[in-house]
Structure 1
Amino acid sequence: MAGSLTPPPPQGLSWMRPTKLQKLLKKGPGQGSAAKTLSLCEDFIAYLRGECHLADNSVQAYRRDLTKFCEWAGSRRMSELQIGELSQFVSSLHDSGLAPASISRNIVAVRTFFKYLQLEGIVTDNPAELLGTQKSWQRMPKVLTQRQVDRFLAAPRKRDPFWQRDRAMLEVLYASGCRATETCTLRLHDLSLAERHIRCEGKGGKQRLVPIGQRAIDAIELYLSELRPKLQARGPKTTDVLFLSRTGRPLERIQLWRLVKQYALAAGVDSEISPHSLRHSFATHLLAGGADLRQVQEMLGHASIQTTQIYTHVDHSRLKRVHQQFHPRG
């Protein structure tokens, strides 16, 4: 059964670039355990792409985490690893100063890797299942107040070279709760401004319709009429991506991240915020306004409502209202 579920690697350019994992594989001893582990990791990455159809960002996250694991594992045989040794790997992550959420992600990557090895008949048991994950909510997400959001969304001024695009982009982030990648990959045919919603493609290629408000619609229409045609003239004429860079090419996620930081500084808002902070603020403010948790889950594209429930802990104002309304001494 070994290798039966591993598809041939995709032929895209991103696959052809040598990764750190592949460089380690070249350096490893020809037939040694370390080289075999690295090869299994590459097979697993191909499996995630070809069989599981994970989004590229998710695959890259698995690759980074497994690179750490392979460096730690060295010449250890996967079939001989026990829970005690895997716990040492987790301890090494703690010692390196990783945040609890990052450690949890590394543990999930190792668990999933061992499940794949079980599926391929390479190991019999999955000792990684016994690893305890970090508490996911040890660190609450950064959330802006509604007043801070107003200042932040107004930060792009006419003196800024691409202010129409930047204002539309920030408005979309807050109005829809879309992730940074979802925002950067929005296409013109994903817009239904007359129906007041946009179509987002989330993790695993799952699509969802998200309503947007009039301010976001006005900002998008202004950008489409005044700036986007000029940007498109500088790049490939066939692109239908909504947000374009100064060269007319699709705006990349790292560029979006930098713009959020830039306008946070201009608005006098916490410099630690990121595009995801607007997603957190979107969900928290909806719940504060009385939205149903299931509806917020659907708009965010969360597979599990447990992920959405964090915002009930962040939104203290709603809890206070519930307490005042229903507690006999509220």
Structure 2
Amino acid sequence: MSERWISTFLDAQAAEANAARNTLLAYGRDLKDFLDWSARRGLGLESLPKSAVEDYLVSCEAEGLSKATRARRLSVIRQLFRFAHDEGWRTDNPALRISGPGASQRLPKTLSHDEVERLLDASRTKGRTLGERLRNAALVELLYATGMRVSELVGLPVSAARGEPKMILVRGKGDKERLVPLSTPARAALGEWLAWRDAEDVRLHALGHRPSKALFPGGGADGHLTRQHFYLVIKDIAVLAGVDPTRVTPHTLRHAFATHLLAGGADLRVIQTLLGHADVATTEIYTHVLDDQLKSLVLTHHPLAKPKP
């Protein structure tokens, strides 16, 4: 019964709310953990009381889970019971009036212009073959030029890059599409990679292989380079660039894209559109990053901020 609730809920999220695949996977993991915890105590979702949800959250805290993780788990449990109520499976929502732990808001890590330039230069040298080096350069140039999520980047179809586009169509969360412009360096890196990739497709076709529909083919189940592979590649690129690899991830370059645009005078609403944020409040965090950088600049460079001898 309880497992059927969860599978039906996830199906509804996919069909009606257009939830992204990664979101559904996270929901599934969280709800399975909650279901297993409940089953060990002989509790079923159809009669589980509010106190049990509270006890579960306490157990999550005892496990050392972060505030953000606990807040996410409460959110999906609340959604599940709201769905159950709407379906007539329950007459109440036991998680409705439970206060969450609240996710601590941390400012996103970003990179300086100089660090990004070094990463871009290093990406052109990372790889055992010419093809790998061209692919890595295209990946990093595109990521910084567009601010795409890494899943959006590695999942791009090759058709999106045809015709030397000045803009590229990105399919984001919930299958929402948006157009993002390409910088001149990104277009050049993309063109070089595409030329090499097309030549490789011709060679592989002669050997009986079908060409990949992905812009960045890979051995993943979806036929494209995986997020995990690219995560490791960009760590190696950071080492080559002399940038602390603990500070560099694909998401860090997305943050750098937004922060540098804002520092250059771009409108917050434009950045929201380019990033694919549903709510401008999500984008506003970059104003705080910029404020922190400006404060640091004043405290380290203003003559009155320096200690008197």
Quickly name the TM-score band, shorter chain normalised: 0.7 to 0.9
Please tell me whether the aligned partners of residues 158 and 214 of structure 2 are also in contact (alpha carbons under 8 angstroms).
yes
TM-score under structure 1 normalisation? 0.79
Match of 1:257 in 2: 231
User: In terms of mean alpha carbon deviation, does 235-244 or 178-187 score higher?
Assistant: 235-244
Residue number among 68, 81, 101 corresponding to 2:48 in the alignment: 81
Match of 2:177 in 1: 207
Please tell me whether the aligned partners of residues 201 and 208 of structure 1 are also in contact (alpha carbons under 8 angstroms).
yes
**Residue 104 of structure 1, CA deviation:** 2.2
Match of 2:78 in 1: 111
Match of 1:245 in 2: 218
Name the % identity: 35
The alignment status of 1:175 with 2:150, answered yes or no, reads no
Match of 1:65 in 2: 30
Task: Write out aligned runs for 1:1-330 (5 A).
Answer: 36-74=1-39, 75-158=42-125, 160=127, 161=129, 162-191=132-161, 194-230=164-200, 233-234=203-204, 236-245=209-218, 249-272=223-246, 273-316=248-291
Number of residue equivalences: 287
Query: 2-side partners of 1:132 and 1:125: how far apart?
Result: 17
Letter of the 2:255 counterpart: H
Q: Residues 320 and 222 from structure 1, CA distance in 2 versus in 1: closer, same or farther, beyond 3 angstroms?
A: same
**Residue 268 of structure 1, CA deviation:** 2.5
**Residue 281 of structure 1, CA deviation:** 1.3
Query: Which structure would you say has the larger RCO, counting Cα contacts within 8 Å and 6 or more residues apart?
Result: 2
**Residue 220 of structure 1, CA deviation:** 0.5
Moved over 4 A (4+): 192-195, 231-236, 317-321
Query: 2-side partners of 1:118 and 1:303: how far apart?
Result: 27
TM-score under structure 2 normalisation? 0.84
Query: 2-side partners of 1:128 and 1:244: how far apart?
Result: 43
Please tell me whether the aligned partners of residues 190 and 198 of structure 1 are also in contact (alpha carbons under 8 angstroms).
yes
User: In terms of mean alpha carbon deviation, does 37-46 or 54-63 score higher?
Assistant: 37-46
User: In terms of mean alpha carbon deviation, does 204-213 or 147-156 score higher?
Assistant: 147-156
Q: Residues 50 and 172 from structure 1, CA distance in 2 versus in 1: closer, same or farther, beyond 3 angstroms?
A: same
**Residue 146 of structure 1, CA deviation:** 1.3
Query: 1-side partners of 2:100 and 2:56: how far apart?
Result: 13
1:42 aligns to what SS in structure 2?
A: helix
Match of 1:30 in 2: none
**Residue 92 of structure 1, CA deviation:** 1.8
Q: Deviations over 1:255-306 (max 9, x none)?
A: 1122122212222223233211111111111111111111111111111111
Match of 1:5 in 2: none
2:96 aligns to what SS in structure 1?
A: helix
**Residue 116 of structure 1, CA deviation:** 1.0
**Residue 96 of structure 1, CA deviation:** 1.8
**Residue 198 of structure 1, CA deviation:** 0.8
Letter of the 1:284 counterpart: T
Q: Deviations over 1:27-49 (max 9, x none)?
A: xxxxxxxxx22231122222223
Q: Residues 158 and 234 from structure 1, CA distance in 2 versus in 1: closer, same or farther, beyond 3 angstroms?
A: farther
**Residue 56 of structure 1, CA deviation:** 1.4
* Alignment RMSD (CA, Å): 2.6
Please tell me whether the aligned partners of residues 126 and 237 of structure 2 are also in contact (alpha carbons under 8 angstroms).
no
Q: Residues 209 and 114 from structure 1, CA distance in 2 versus in 1: closer, same or farther, beyond 3 angstroms?
A: same
Please tell me whether the aligned partners of residues 288 and 317 of structure 1 are also in contact (alpha carbons under 8 angstroms).
no
Please tell me whether the aligned partners of residues 204 and 211 of structure 2 are also in contact (alpha carbons under 8 angstroms).
no
**Residue 195 of structure 1, CA deviation:** 5.0
Please tell me whether the aligned partners of residues 2 and 46 of structure 2 are also in contact (alpha carbons under 8 angstroms).
no
Letter of the 1:307 counterpart: T
